[in-house]
Amino acid sequence: MKVKKKETELNKDDAMKQNLMQTAKEAQPLDNMMESACVVEFDEACENHMDGYDKRNQAVVAKKLEIEQVGQDCRTVVSVVKMLVRSAPELEGMVGPALRRSLQHLSQRCLQQMQEFVSNFNSNNSQANV
């Protein structure tokens, strides 16, 4: 009798395990659906964040290109001044220091414009996201 009782207990244990496994299998699609939904929501949130990040980067790059164009214009002016000084060396004393001051002032102004642009862009976007 003890042997039959143990076999019955084992069968009950096996039945419970199978029942648990079946329940887990049935619950798995729900888990997968929930996980998929969470992944989609996370992906959409990341995409929205990246869109904002990309817009910010695009705006900063556009401003940088604008400032680089000013830099290119400055290099052109310097090249012209160098040619003038080569043809008339007496101009170097008058033009050289003034050109250096102007270029330093211009570079500081461009740097300040870029910093202000980024700050304004960041503050405008943070207000828009609120």
Residues 60, 66: Cα–Cα separation, whole Å? 10
Quick one: pLDDT band at residue 36, thresholds 50, 70, 90?
very low
Global pTM reads 0.49
Closest CA to 95 of 87, 85, 105: 85
When mean pLDDT is compared across 7-11, 86-90, 109-113, 125-129, the lowest value belongs to 7-11
Which tens digit of pLDDT belongs to each residue from 86-124? 999 998 888 889 988 988 898 888 888 888 888 888 887
Q: Do 113 and 68 contact (CB within 8 A), yes or no?
A: no
> Mean per-residue pLDDT for 27-40?
45
Confidence of residue 41 (pLDDT cuts 50, 70, 90): very low
Q: Which residues contact 121 (CB under 8 A, 6 or more apart)?
A: 56, 59, 60
